[in-house]
């Protein structure tokens, strides 16, 4: 879990993982929207889950993506997005991540104090962010050992379609 001297600044869970067993990266998963909260909007995250079965695990590495859009997924699946407060998101994410044997992450790569991936959520305009970015959504896919199950986790903020 993210740590900060001021609890109001905590808004992520960090998932640290390795690529090809050598390069370490950190995925920053939002557990609340600080922007929405600061502007008086609902700060909770809406989580949608697509359950799938895989035949084989994907290759390790970083790959360019031609675009990732929740709207395309929503055309082909009935995805129910459920609101979760920060504590609920922490529990849900930590439990799911602990069971995973492999993760896939869609988002933007960054290098700050460490290498990482952020923007792991819908990039459409929201209550607090006017910029409407289409085709560059982020997501997290978790692969489990049991029954070759996987879950694609989709994250939305207040006001996103």
Residue 161 lies in a domain: no
CA distance 103 to 150: 9
Q: Is residue 108 part of a domain?
A: yes
Q: The whole model's pTM is what? A: 0.93
Residue 2 lies in a domain: no
Question: Does residue 14 lie in a domain region?
Answer: yes
In this prediction, residue 2 carries a pLDDT of: 67
User: Within a domain: residue 18?
Assistant: yes
Alpha-carbon torsion angle 106, 147, 98, 156, nearest 10: 40
The verdict on residue 23 lying in a domain is yes
Total domains in the fold of the chain: 1
Q: Do the Cβ atoms of 130 and 143 come closer than 8 Å?
A: no
pLDDT at 161: 95
Encode the chain (161 residues) as per-residue pLDDT tens digits. Answer: 666 677 777 888 999 988 877 788 999 999 999 999 999 999 999 999 999 999 999 998 888 999 999 999 999 999 999 999 999 999 999 999 999 999 999 999 999 888 999 999 999 999 999 999 999 999 999 999 999 999 999 999 999 99
Please give the residue range of the domain that contains residue 70: 7-156
Task: Give the per-residue pLDDT at 121.
Answer: 98
Q: Is residue 63 part of a domain?
A: yes
Residue 111 placed within a domain: yes
């Amino acid at each position: 879990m993210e740590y900060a001297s001021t609890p109001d600044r905590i808004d992520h869970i960090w998932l640290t993982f390795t690529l090809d067993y050598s390069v370490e990266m950190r995925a920053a998963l939002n557990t609340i929207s600080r922007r929405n909260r600061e502007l008086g909007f609902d700060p909770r995250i809406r989580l949608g889950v697509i359950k799938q079965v895989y035949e084989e695990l994907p290759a390790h590495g970083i790959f360019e993506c031609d675009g990732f859009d929740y709207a395309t997924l929503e055309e082909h699946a009935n995805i129910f997005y459920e609101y979760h407060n920060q504590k609920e998101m922490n529990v849900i994410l930590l439990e799911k991540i602990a069971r995973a044997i492999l993760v896939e992450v869609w988002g933007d790569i960054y290098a700050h104090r460490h290498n990482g991936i952020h923007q792991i959520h819908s990039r459409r305009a929201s209550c607090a962010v006017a910029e409407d970015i289409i085709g560059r959504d982020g997501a997290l896919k978790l692969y489990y050992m049991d029954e070759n199950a996987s879950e694609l986790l989709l994250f939305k903020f207040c006001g996103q379609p």
